[in-house]
Amino acid sequence: MIHAATLVHDDVIDDSDLRRHVSTVHRRWNTETSVLFGDYLFSRAFHLAATTGDAEACRLIGRATNRTCEGELNQIGARLEQSVSERDYFRVVQGKTAQLFSVSCRLGARAGGASERLQSQLSLFGGRLGIAFQIADDVLDLTETQESTGKDSANDLANHRMTLPILRALRLGSAEERERIRGLLFSADASDQRVLRESGVLQRGIESAQQSCERFAERAVRCLRQFPDSEERRLLELVAGYSAHRSE
């Protein structure tokens, strides 16, 4: 529910038209409705958490939500900064995406009666899974169409975001290519963004980012080695694999 709330608000921030193959809330109705609906989902989630009587669970959910909002604020602040580094990127991802994955896994383990050690391992699994998921999302934004993903394509380019594929392209490109990438990325002309999307140096950046995505998924799976072989463990391993190789 908290994740859904963040998506509703994200779509307003990005002025997106589609989410999961249907019109976004603010397109279907209006911005005011979208903001209030996202707020309602947040408050409803916290109300449900409070009814469990588990104060620690409420604290964990609150902390993760705070960090998610901080990550989004950091991303907005970096939107027009041309000096964004990979460290800055991962700081945003750690807050914006990894926190919710991490707390979800920890709370599942907590509800199942797992020890603190195993809760921590699943929390680490979730955090690494979240990073892999976000990198994959950034790759898909550049490689897939609106029809396949069910949401706006090239949205990061339209919003001038320095995602990992872009950062890797800047790192791998020549001085001339780096200057061209920056000029195209920060252009308001949609045709310039198409040129960037189809450039060879960006393709190299995409490949490098995808490799990092797969490494984070593998690191997530390694966190599960302390758990006995079981159907549940195999399902989590499949989730990690899917997150790194998904097409939508």
Per-residue pLDDT of the chain (248 residues; tens, 9 = 90+): 999 999 999 999 988 888 878 999 999 999 999 999 999 999 999 999 999 999 999 999 999 999 999 998 988 887 766 678 999 999 999 998 999 999 999 999 999 999 999 999 999 999 999 999 999 999 998 987 666 666 666 777 877 788 999 999 999 999 998 888 888 887 767 777 778 888 888 999 999 999 999 999 999 999 999 999 999 999 999 999 999 998 77
Q: What is the pLDDT of residue 191?
A: 79
- Examine the domain organization and report whether 30 and 92 are in the same domain: no
Q: 88 and 17: one domain?
A: no
Residue pLDDT, tens place only, 98-129: 999 999 999 999 999 999 999 999 999 999 99
* Integer Cα distance of 8 and 25 in angstroms: 7
- The count of structural domains within the chain is 2
Extract long-range pairs of 59-65: CB within 8 Å, 24+ residues apart: 60/103, 60/106, 60/107, 61/2, 61/103, 61/107, 63/99, 63/103, 64/2, 64/99, 64/100, 64/102, 64/103, 65/2, 65/100
- Shared domain for 133 and 231, answered yes or no, is yes
Same domain, 36 and 139: no
Q: Are residues 18 and 73 in the same domain?
A: no
Same domain, 20 and 113: no
pLDDT computed for residue 80 by the predictor: 60
- Say if residue 24 is in the same domain as residue 121: no
Considering the domain architecture, whether residues 32 and 82 belong to the same structural domain is answered as no
Question: Using CA of residue 234, residue 117, residue 134, residue 42, what is the dihedral sign?
Answer: positive
DSSP codes joined into one string, 178-243: HHHHHHHHT-S-HHHHHHHHT-HHHHHHHHHHHHHHHHHHHHHHHGGGGSPS-HHHHHHHHHHHHH
Find the CATH number of the domain harbouring 208: 1.10.600.10
Q: Which domain holds residue 172?
A: 55-245
Q: How far is CA 207 from CA 46, 90, 225, in A?
A: 39, 18, 28
pLDDT of residue 114: 94
- Both 43 and 133 in one domain: the answer is no
Total-model pTM: 0.90
Residues 119, 20 share a domain: no
> Cα–Cα distance between 114 and 104 in angstroms, integer?
14
